[in-house]
Amino acid sequence: MDPARLVRRSDTAWEIAPRGAMRVPAVIYASEALIRAMDDKVAEQAVNVAALPGIVGASYAMPDAHWGYGFPIGGVAAFDAARGGVVSAGGVGFDISCGVRCLHTGVTRGEVVAVQRRLADALFERIPAGMGRTGEIRLSAHDMDAMLAGGARWAVARGWGGAADLERIEERGAIAHAQPHRVSEQARRRQRDEMGTLGSGNHYLEVQEVVEVHDPGIADAYGLAQGAIVVMIHCGSRGLGHQIGTEFLRRMAIAAPSFGIHLPDRELACAPIASELGADYLGAMRAAINCALANRQILTHLVREVFADVLPQARLPLLYDVSHNTCKVERHVVDGRVRDLHVHRKGATRAFGPGHPDLPADLRAAGQPVLIGGSMGTGSYVLAGTLSSEAQAFSSACHGAGRAMSRQQALKRWSGRRVVDDLAARGILVRSPSQRGVAEEAPGAYKDVEAVVDAAEAAGLARKVARTAPLVCIKG
């Protein structure tokens, strides 16, 4: 992207002023180097989002932004229902509530390295990963309804985890006002055998070492220290969320003219929040959020079982679980007044600052943990939400490194076998059912996660706490 197309407001804030159908500005947070590397579609899509009814403040794009369906991935936008605001299935995405959770282990690098191959093999055997993979759980119609309403709370009640886990999950494990009856039979069929599975694409489970601490005070509050071993799980609502996204995008696109909504891009299909269709989508989308939370909770239980066998001295309490690809009702200050807004975050992470009442009491002073997934060969980050991010982008931050090239481009450049061998030579063991999938997710296919995180911190979106590096990666 040519920076000359944008107005530079600071070292890391770039703006497109309202023009044409735009109701608000579009703002991209990134360094100049990241802006130059971004595809032009990011600006085009951010501009289109800025034209949607009822949008508040600005249409935002995070430092990891790249082209997506309708909204850019890394896009954030808030809408006011009282002012004709809309909800957009494209602004949430297909993998509803895809997110990351981080677990402590209490073991050292030496202890992991001593059993590294055995641990990698055991995790790969126990965690179903890959396209269409099913698990050992089969949900009846009654179980499906209970899971869609109860999320991680349902999973804990079934024995997959403990009550302490729920305190460290957004919405304390289950979002309110989910409506399982809004979820189609096809979506239910796709999910019936997929609970406790990792999925494919950029989903992963990694055993990581904390290799750098940037903020010792917050790291201590999070229970992180250099040399500590953690586990990160990245996955979402699997086939159910994808089906909900597909169905409602079609319904919204057909219905848009009847609401008097002109779509600059059909992929921005939306419906008024106050409409029956908008309410239907929100009910189904919240059920999918609960599905993702339940799925990650079951995966956590499976990981704990593997560690109990391979490293029985380990203990795996939850640090935090945070979703991206959601639309949530939140209270934000706009023009000096508190307003209830429907905040869309697509490939973006909630980042509440210190003191926020929705945070667990023992984390409140430090701010919300923000979990940033990297690529197989680089590393991930734990950040902390800041007070300034409220005004910057409705308390939002980036969610990962962000793709630098398409999956097809990656396949032309790398082979899965070569990627696995190169990483093994660096002490990183990868296990995946698909060599093609590994090639598509090659580390070089992603942006520099350090540059993304540095830009997020410079923009005031979040604060760097710790960097982790992978030792074992289970890839879907």
Q: Which residues contact 182 (CB under 8 A, 6 or more apart)?
A: 280, 281, 283, 284, 287
Q: What pLDDT, on a 0 to 100 scale, did the predictor assign at position 410?
A: 87
Which is it for strands 73-79 and 337-346: parallel, antiparallel or unpaired?
A: antiparallel
Which amino acid appears at position 228 of this protein?
Answer: A
What tens digit of pLDDT does each residue of 258-302 get?
Answer: 999 999 899 999 999 999 999 999 999 999 999 999 999 999 999
**Under DSSP, is residue 241 helix (H, G, I), strand (E, B) or coil?**
helix
How many Å apart are CA 284 and CA 287, to the nearest integer?
A: 5
For residue 132, is pLDDT > 80? no
Q: What angle do CA 19, 38, 210 make, to 5 degrees?
A: 130
446 pLDDT above the threshold of 90:
no
pLDDT at 341: 98
pLDDT category of residue 38 using cuts at 50, 70 and 90: very high
The answer to whether residue 399 is catalytic is yes
- Taken in order 108, 111, 112, 113, the sign of the CA dihedral is positive
For residues 198 and 129, the answer to whether their CB atoms sit within 8 Å is yes
CATH number at residue 67: 3.90.1860.10
d(CA 80, CA 174): 23
Would the pLDDT of 434 be above 80?
yes
SS3 call for 195: coil
Q: Please say if the pLDDT value at position 134 is more than 90.
A: no
Q: How many domains does the chain have?
A: 1
Q: Report the pLDDT value the prediction gives residue 209, as an integer from 0 to 100.
A: 98
Average pLDDT over residues 334-343: 94
Q: Is the pLDDT of residue 406 over 90?
A: no
Q: What pLDDT is recorded for position 444?
A: 86
* Half-sphere exposure of residue 275: CA atoms within 13 angstroms, side-chain side: 19
Catalytic residue among 234, 301, 344, 399: 399
Q: What is the pLDDT of residues 345-403, one digit of tens each?
A: 999 999 999 999 999 999 999 999 999 998 888 899 999 999 999 999 999 999 988 87
Tell me how far apart the terminal alpha carbons of the chain are, to the nearest angstrom. 31
pLDDT digits (tens, 9 = 90+) for 297-313: 999 999 999 999 999 99
Domain ranges, residue 101:
3-475
Supply the pLDDT for residue 42: 97
User: Which residue has better confidence, 416 or 147?
Assistant: 147
Tokens encoding 93: 């995405």
Contact between 77 and 48 under an 8 Å Cβ cutoff? The reply is: no
What are 71-100's pLDDT values in tens digits?
A: 999 999 999 999 999 999 999 999 999 999
- Residue pair 394/57 in contact (Cβ under 8 Å)? The answer is yes
* Class of residue 359 by CB neighbours under 10 A (exposed 0-12, middle 13-18, buried 19+): buried
Q: Is the pLDDT of residue 447 over 90?
A: no
What does the pLDDT average to over 112-128? 97
pTM: 0.96
Q: What is the 3-state secondary structure (H, E, C) of 320-342?
A: EEEECCEEEEEEEEECCEEEEEE
Query: Which element (helix H / strand E) includes 455?
Result: helix 449-458
Q: Give burial (CB, 10 Å; 0-12/13-18/19+) of 338.
A: exposed
Do 204 and 234 touch, CB atoms closer than 8 A? yes
- Give pLDDT, residue 130: 80
Indicate whether 143 pLDDT > 80.
Answer: yes
Give the ranges where 98-140 is alpha helix by DSSP (H). 109-114, 116-126
Residue 287 backbone phi and psi in degrees, to 5 = -65, -40
Separation of alpha carbons 302 and 264, rounded Å:
45
- Specify the residue for token string 């090639």: 439
DSSP 262: P
Q: Token digits for 474?
A: 């289970």
Fill in the amino acid letter for 451: A
Q: What type of residue is 40?
A: D
**pLDDT of residue 27 exceeding 80:** yes
Task: Tell me how far apart the alpha carbons of residues 139 and 141 are, in angstroms, rounded to a whole number.
Answer: 7
Given CA atoms 345, 351, 355, 360 in this order, what sign does their dihedral have?
A: positive
Tens-digit pLDDT profile for residues 318-327: 999 999 999 9
For 407, phi and psi rounded to 5 degrees?
Answer: -65, -35
Range in 328-332, 333-337, 346-350, 369-373 the model is least confident about: 333-337
State the pLDDT at residue 404: 80
Residue 162 predicted with pLDDT over 80 = yes
The answer to whether 95 and 430 are in contact (CB under 8 A) is: no
